[in-house]
Amino acid sequence: MSRSGKEKRTRQTFKLACCACLVPVLLAFTACGQAADAGSAATGGAQFDNAATIQDTPAAGNTQNGAGATDSKAKSAQSSDAQALWQSLGVSVDTHAKLEHGPKPASDQLYVVLHDTETSGSAASVVSAWAASGGNRTGIAAHFVIGRDGKIVQAVPLDQIAHHVGAGNKGMDAKFGVKYDATRDDGMSPEEKNQVKMGYTSTGMNDFSIGIELVHNGQSDYLVAQLKALDALIKYLDAYYRGAPKGNAGTIIQHKSWRTSNPDCSAAFQKYFKNYQKYRSYKVG
Ligand SMILES: [Zn+2]
């Protein structure tokens, strides 16, 4: 998918503003999904088909709700099966205060937004680049990055807002039932303000979502290890957020569902994503 003229202009503007640290900025920029085009080659292929992740299982968690949506309730869930799931994930925690933009209680957890980094390299290198770019209150990052090898790095705690999704098309706030929460969020970055000026006037998704970035250059298949890790991470998040409004981590969307001109997630991901739209699969192992 090609970027629109608006997206191109946004990127130009940001480059001019941040030319002194272009490389990390470009990496960080991908957290908001305005990196290079994803490319049109939907390779699909054996790697994707072999991913042991797709089965027709109803969404988990919805029948297990009933608890109030409070952080203490979420932590209660964390103390049981969620805690065991967390241990099995082997997550490397590499959090940074500059990437945290305000409290995000479990009561406000409504969506999981999937992204592509549009880069190569390790998950750890992506988080390092985020940590090295931007200033206070402007850091762009997702909560988690999943490498091609399946390694997961956490960049932002679950109870903190991450600026991973930027501004969306006009009307998206209403469509998704979210609204920018100035009582919690510490403010939009210059990049987000530019997006709003260009007509992307929806700004509420960051405050009600978890962001997960898949390391992917936009051109190749997603490896089985990476997809299994994503599956396992979502299973953990569902357990952690059992007391949240949706009874799990919420509706899984991709970045372009929020800003339609966005290139991520890549074409090769669509078959897998389509399954997530309807089910939680959890066939991990
Ligand atoms: Zn994105």
Tell me: the pLDDT tens digits for 3-13?
Answer: 333 333 333 32
pLDDT of residue 156: 97
| Centroid of ligand 1 to alpha carbon of 145 (angstroms) | 11
Structural domain including 56 reads 5-278
pLDDT of residue 180: 97
| Centroid of ligand 1 to alpha carbon of 39 (angstroms) | 15
Residue 189 near residue 137 (C-beta atoms within 8 A): yes
Q: Average per-residue pLDDT in the chain?
A: 75
| Centroid of ligand 1 to alpha carbon of 169 (angstroms) | 14
Residue 223 near residue 47 (C-beta atoms within 8 A): yes
What's the pLDDT band for 49 if we cut at 50, 70, 90?
Answer: very low
Residue 161 near residue 111 (C-beta atoms within 8 A): no
Let me know if residue 285 belongs to a domain.
Answer: no
Assess whether pLDDT exceeds 80 at residue 69.
Answer: no
pLDDT of residue 268: 84
pLDDT of residue 130: 94
| Whole-number Cα distances in Å, 281 to 10, 46, 196, 277 | 37, 19, 36, 11
pTM of the model: 0.75
Let me know if residue 256 belongs to a domain.
Answer: yes
Give the list of residues 6+ apart from residue 247 with CB closer than 8 angstroms, or none. Answer: 61, 62, 63, 64, 65
What's the pLDDT band for 135 if we cut at 50, 70, 90?
Answer: low
Q: Which residue has the higher pLDDT, 284 or 72?
A: 72
197-242 tens-digit pLDDT: 999 999 999 999 999 999 999 888 889 899 999 999 999 999 999 9
Which amino acid, 114? L
What's the pLDDT band for 263 if we cut at 50, 70, 90?
Answer: confident
Let me know if residue 235 belongs to a domain.
Answer: yes
Q: Which residue has the higher pLDDT, 279 or 173?
A: 173
| Centroid of ligand 1 to alpha carbon of 33 (angstroms) | 3
| Centroid of ligand 1 to alpha carbon of 38 (angstroms) | 11
Assess whether pLDDT exceeds 60 at residue 21.
Answer: no
pLDDT of residue 285: 35
| Centroid of ligand 1 to alpha carbon of 195 (angstroms) | 14
152, β-bridge pairs: 146
| Centroid of ligand 1 to alpha carbon of 6 (angstroms) | 16
Helix axis angle for 22-29 and 5-17, nearest 10°, is: 140
| Centroid of ligand 1 to alpha carbon of 30 (angstroms) | 6
Let me know if residue 215 belongs to a domain.
Answer: yes
116, β-bridge pairs: 214
Let me know if residue 284 belongs to a domain.
Answer: no
| Centroid of ligand 1 to alpha carbon of 50 (angstroms) | 25
pLDDT of residue 2: 30
| Centroid of ligand 1 to alpha carbon of 119 (angstroms) | 12
The alpha-helical segments, DSSP class H, found in the chain are 5-17, 22-29, 46-49, 71-77, 83-89, 123-132, 172-176, 190-197, 224-240, 255-258, 270-278
Let me know if residue 188 belongs to a domain.
Answer: yes
pLDDT of residue 279: 61
**What is the CATH number for 254?**
3.40.80.10
| Centroid of ligand 1 to alpha carbon of 144 (angstroms) | 12
Domain count, the chain: 1
Let me know if residue 283 belongs to a domain.
Answer: no
pLDDT of residue 1: 27
